[in-house]
Structure formats: structure tokens, C-alpha cells
């Protein structure tokens, strides 16, 4: 089934709002290009994709840092999982969780670190797709091209029946039925091929503004032409023409989409990690299959989706591949200890901002609780006593905690309990 062009903006929360902002950016790019005499939506899509992915570079770096550390942490985590394999009691599950969390703390990362980065990126990527798919909806400069013809059509009696019959006769599957809404007319006009624009001119009810239709057709065709292709057409439609040049150009879109995405996946650290023992892992096997299938699916979709969407996929994959090369080079130069120390500093700064004690003190507090339990069970000793003493000293050092912080409140509770004991 062919895709449907919609001038109506997405109403999805967050994604819809982000798409509007991205539309402003793309419209600004188009206006800048127009100032130098370039009116080309294909080039606009490429520049737009580059800018958006450049803005997401910090998120990509954070995600790749987590992936690098995750590869190092994985053997330790797997050892813990093996240790508690088959143990379903609550105590064992809690211990496994604590030990796993300790590994993450050891490397200064959060267990949800990668998920957070993806959660931020996904709405941006969905919004980006919306803008590319529905250009007239978000790019005012493109929408305005159709204003003149759209206004004339709205003034014709029975225009909905005329256009809907036109859609049926020409088997236009990429557009829904026209209503009295101006956006639906823009959907229809944006989906027209050069030959269909000529047919539209020949409709008797539209003869009074046929010159305006011709002018609009020329303007939009100039905007949509990328090389020998029209960004609003599907590659499949060009293959049916029999023209060797058009067939080669049309085939290049899905093939390049597949090739660039495969390159991007090869450069990802995850791709390199999926070998050796990991081949026996069900998750690794699933990821390997998905990495093979997804590029093939994108190539397949490129045949039936507009050329403009294929250009976006190719451009974004190329940008991501370049990003990945630079990020890999940067991370390969970075010492793991330096990376861990950097993460720990950020974590401690965050804890200090929230009024929490340093992670070292918190870890000592957890150990103190374990030691107290051991003492109560008759397992007292010099080691336990020394550790408890260290914890007490740590909390004394935290006596100057920020007023109103959790540490300060904890100190107040401790002092209150000590006073009650003396009574």
C-alpha cells in the first residue's frame, strides 16, 4: 500500500509539538536557499537531516559511552546472574539486585542510562519523520505555493465531487478523499504528478484559472525535482516507465538506503560485540537478526514511499555513520578509568545538588546496616566494629550538610534518637 500525504499536522502529544518546531527550522532552511536562488526540497531535506542529527550528537556520545562501559560491565553482571540462577525467593532477588546495582555504581553509570537517551531521541526521530513525510503541513513556504489554486478551487461549486472523481479516475492511492477543508486540497495538489497537473488544467470547471494551475505546477515541480526524480513520487513508479536512466536513479534510492544503514550498524559498538559467547545468547541473536532485517525492510519501503523519504533515510544514515566514526575515535582514545572518574564526578555533583551525601558515604551506610545485623546475630568482631566506626566518622563529616538536605534531616533524626537513649 502506498503512503498517504497529509497536510494536517500530527496531533500526537509531544511529537506534534516537536514536529512544529522542526517545521520552522526546515522552513528557515528553505528560505535561506531561496535567497541564493535555490528552490529544491531534496537539498532542503539533506541539510535539515544534517542539522537535526548534529544537534543530537551529545545524546549519541552519552549513549555510546554507556555502551562502551556496558560491554565491560557485562561479564560481571552475567556472573551475578549466574550466581543467583534458579533462585526465585525474595531475599535472593534483592541480593542480586543490590549486587547488580553495585556494579553500575562501580562504573559511575545508571542502569537506566541508555533508556533515558533513547527516550529523549525517539520523539525527536518520530517528529522528524512527520515533517519529511508531510512537508506542506509544516513548511509554510511550500504550503503557500498552493494557496492561489486552492482558493480558486474552493470557490467552484461541487469541487469535492469533481476532485474525488479525478482521484478515482487517476487511481491516486497516495491521497485521501477531498473534503471542504483547504488542507485536504493541498494534500491532493502535492500528490499530483506532472501529467496529472496537465489533466487538472483540462477540467472544464477549472478552465477559468488554468494558467494559475500551470504556473503552480511549474513552481512545485521545480521545488520537488531532485536530479531526475520527483521527491513526491515513488521509485516503483519510475521503474514502470521503462526509461533506463529513471530506473537506475529509482533503484539507487532503496539500494543506498540499505547500504548506508548497514554501514551505520557495522560502526555501532553493539555490532562488534555480538560475537563469541554472545552468539549463544538469545538477546544477541535477536539483535543480530534485527540488524539484518531492518535495512532490508527500509529498502523495501523505499520502493513504495516517496523519494523524499528515501533521501532522508540515506542522508540520516550517512550523518550517523560519520558521527559514529568520530565518536568511536574519541572513545578509543579515552581511558576507561578516566571515563569512570568522569561519570563519578557527574554523579557526585548531581547528588550534592539534590542534598544527598556522597556515594561513598551512602555505600558505607549500607555496609553499616549489614554489620549491625551481624552484631545482633552474635557475629561481632574487630572488622565489623572498625567498619561501623568508619561509617560513624563519615556521618560526622557530613554534619555540615546543606540545610534542608536529606543528610541534614538524617543527622537531626540521629541526634534525636541519641538524646532519647540517654534519658
Kindly state whether residue 388 falls inside one of the protein's structural domains.
yes
Mean pLDDT to the nearest integer, 334-345 = 70
For residue 158, give the H/E element and its range: none
Instruction: Give pLDDT, residue 412.
Output: 57
Mean pLDDT of the chain: 76
Angle at alpha carbon of residue 130, lines to 52 and 215, rounded to 5°: 100
Rounded-to-integer distance, Cα 11 and Cα 9, Å:
6
Mean pLDDT to the nearest integer, 32-57 = 90
Q: Which has more pLDDT, 415 or 367? A: 415
How many domains in the chain? Answer: 1
Q: Exposed, middle or buried: residue 295 (CB in 10 Å: 0-12, 13-18, 19+)? A: buried
Rounded-to-integer distance, Cα 31 and Cα 28, Å:
5
**36-50 burial, b for 16+ CB within 10 Å, e for fewer?**
eeebbbbebbbbbbb
Query: Which of 270, 298, 321 shows the shortest CA–CA distance to 114?
Result: 270
Instruction: Give pLDDT, residue 5.
Output: 47
Q: pLDDT confidence of 71, banded at 50, 70, 90? A: confident
Kindly state whether residue 386 falls inside one of the protein's structural domains.
yes
Q: Phi/psi at 87 (nearest 5 deg)?
A: -90, 110
Contact in structure between 195 and 16 (CB atoms under 8 Å) = no
Instruction: Give pLDDT, residue 55.
Output: 86
Residue 279, pLDDT > 50, answer: no
For residue 230, give the H/E element and its range: strand 229-230
Instruction: Give pLDDT, residue 190.
Output: 86
Q: In the block, which residue shows the cell 526521530?
A: 125
Angle between helices 113-133 and 15-35 (to 10 degrees): 50
Mean pLDDT to the nearest integer, 3-10 = 56
Contact in structure between 213 and 145 (CB atoms under 8 Å) = no
| Domain extent at residue 394 | 354-422
Percent of residues, the chain, with pLDDT higher than 70: 71
Angle between helices 282-304 and 244-267 (to 10 degrees): 160
Q: Which residues on neighbouring strands pair with residue 225, listed in sequence order?
A: 230
Kindly state whether residue 97 falls inside one of the protein's structural domains.
no
Percent of residues, the chain, with pLDDT higher than 90: 17
Mean pLDDT to the nearest integer, 24-51 = 91
Judged by average pLDDT, the poorest of 111-120, 238-247, 328-337 is 111-120
Q: Which has more pLDDT, 56 or 9? A: 56
Kindly state whether residue 322 falls inside one of the protein's structural domains.
no
Eight-state DSSP code of residue 268: S
Kindly state whether residue 248 falls inside one of the protein's structural domains.
no
Kindly state whether residue 393 falls inside one of the protein's structural domains.
yes
Q: Phi/psi at 229 (nearest 5 deg)?
A: -110, 155
Q: Which has more pLDDT, 218 or 374? A: 218
Rounded-to-integer distance, Cα 342 and Cα 337, Å:
8
Instruction: Give pLDDT, residue 152.
Output: 93
Instruction: Give pLDDT, residue 60.
Output: 79
User: What's the whole-model pTM score?
Assistant: 0.67
Instruction: Give pLDDT, residue 374.
Output: 44
Q: Phi/psi at 230 (nearest 5 deg)?
A: -105, 125
SS3 content of the chain, % helix, strand, coil (to 5): 80, 0, 20
Judged by average pLDDT, the poorest of 39-48, 170-179, 187-196 is 170-179
Q: pLDDT confidence of 392, banded at 50, 70, 90? A: low
Kindly state whether residue 241 falls inside one of the protein's structural domains.
no
CA distances from 175 to 2, 226, 232, 323, 324 (A): 9, 22, 12, 36, 38
Rounded-to-integer distance, Cα 113 and Cα 339, Å:
15
Instruction: Give pLDDT, residue 46.
Output: 93
Sequence-separated contacts (24+) of 197-200 with Cβ below 8 Å: 197/221, 199/166, 199/170, 200/166
Instruction: Give pLDDT, residue 417.
Output: 53
Kindly state whether residue 402 falls inside one of the protein's structural domains.
yes
Contact in structure between 79 and 353 (CB atoms under 8 Å) = no
Judged by average pLDDT, the poorest of 73-77, 90-94, 372-376 is 372-376
pLDDT digits (tens, 9 = 90+) for 203-213: 999 989 999 99
Residue 405, pLDDT > 60, answer: no
CA distances from 397 to 65, 392, 400 (A): 33, 9, 7
Amino acid at each position: 500500500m502506498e503512503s498517504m500525504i497529509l497536510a494536517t499536522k500530527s496531533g500526537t502529544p509531544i511529537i506534534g509539538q516537536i514536529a512544529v518546531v522542526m517545521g520552522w527550522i526546515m522552513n528557515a532552511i528553505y528560505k535561506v536557499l531561496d535567497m541564493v536562488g535555490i528552490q529544491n526540497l531534496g537539498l532542503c531535506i539533506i541539510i535539515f537531516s544534517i542539522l537535526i542529527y548534529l544537534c543530537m550528537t551529545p545524546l549519541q556520545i552519552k549513549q555510546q559511552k554507556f555502551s562502551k562501559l556496558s560491554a565491560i560491565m557485562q561479564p560481571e553482571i552475567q556472573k551475578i546472574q549466574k550466581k543467583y540462577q534458579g533462585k526465585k525467593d525474595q531475599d535472593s532477588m534483592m541480593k542480586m539486585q543490590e549486587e547488580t546495582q553495585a556494579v553500575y555504581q562501580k562504573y559511575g553509570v545508571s542502569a537506566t542510562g541508555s533508556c533515558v537517551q533513547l527516550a529523549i531521541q525517539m520523539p525527536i526521530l518520530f517528529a522528524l519523520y512527520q515533517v519529511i513525510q508531510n512537508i506542506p503541513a509544516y513548511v509554510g513556504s511550500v504550503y503557500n505555493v498552493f494557496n492561489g489554486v486552492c482558493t480558486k478551487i474552493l470557490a467552484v461549486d461541487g469541487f469535492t465531487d469533481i476532485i474525488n472523481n479525478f482521484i478515482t479516475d487517476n487511481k491516486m492511492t497516495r491521497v485521501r478523499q477531498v473534503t471542504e477543508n483547504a488542507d485536504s486540497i493541498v494534500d491532493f495538489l502535492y500528490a499530483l504528478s506532472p501529467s496529472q497537473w496537465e489533466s487538472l488544467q483540462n477540467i472544464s470547471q477549472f478552465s477559468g484559472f488554468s494558467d494559475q494551475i500551470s504556473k503552480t505546477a511549474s513552481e512545485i515541480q521545480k521545488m520537488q525535482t531532485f536530479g531526475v526524480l520527483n521527491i513526491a513520487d515513488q521509485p516503483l513508479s519510475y521503474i514502470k516507465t521503462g526509461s533506463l536512466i529513471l530506473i537506475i536513479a529509482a533503484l539507487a534510492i532503496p539500494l543506498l538506503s540499505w547500504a548506508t544503514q548497514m554501514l551505520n550498524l557495522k560502526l555501532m559498538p553493539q555490532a562488534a560485540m555480538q560475537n563469541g559467547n554472545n552468539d549463544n545468547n538469545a538477546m544477541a541473536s535477536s539483535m543480530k537478526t534485527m540488524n539484518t532485517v531492518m535495512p532490508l525492510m527500509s529498502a523495501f519501503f523505499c520502493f513504495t514511499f516517496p523519494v523524499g523519504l528515501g533521501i532522508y533515510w540515506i542522508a540520516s544514515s550517512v550523518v550517523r555513520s560519520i558521527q559514529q566514526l568520530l565518536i568511536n575515535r574519541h572513545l578509543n582514545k579515552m581511558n576507561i578509568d578516566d571515563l569512570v572518574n568522569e561519570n563519578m564526578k557527574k554523579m557526585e555533583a548531581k547528588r550534592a545538588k539534590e542534598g544527598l551525601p556522597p556515594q561513598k558515604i551512602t555505600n558505607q551506610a549500607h555496609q553499616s546496616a549489614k554489620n549491625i545485623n551481624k552484631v545482633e546475630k552474635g557475629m561481632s568482631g574487630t572488622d565489623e566494629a572498625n567498619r561501623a566506626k568508619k561509617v560513624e566518622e563519615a556521618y560526622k563529616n557530613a554534619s555540615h550538610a546543606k540545610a534542608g538536605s536529606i543528610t541534614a534531616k538524617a543527622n537531626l533524626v540521629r541526634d534525636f534518637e541519641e538524646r532519647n537513649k540517654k534519658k
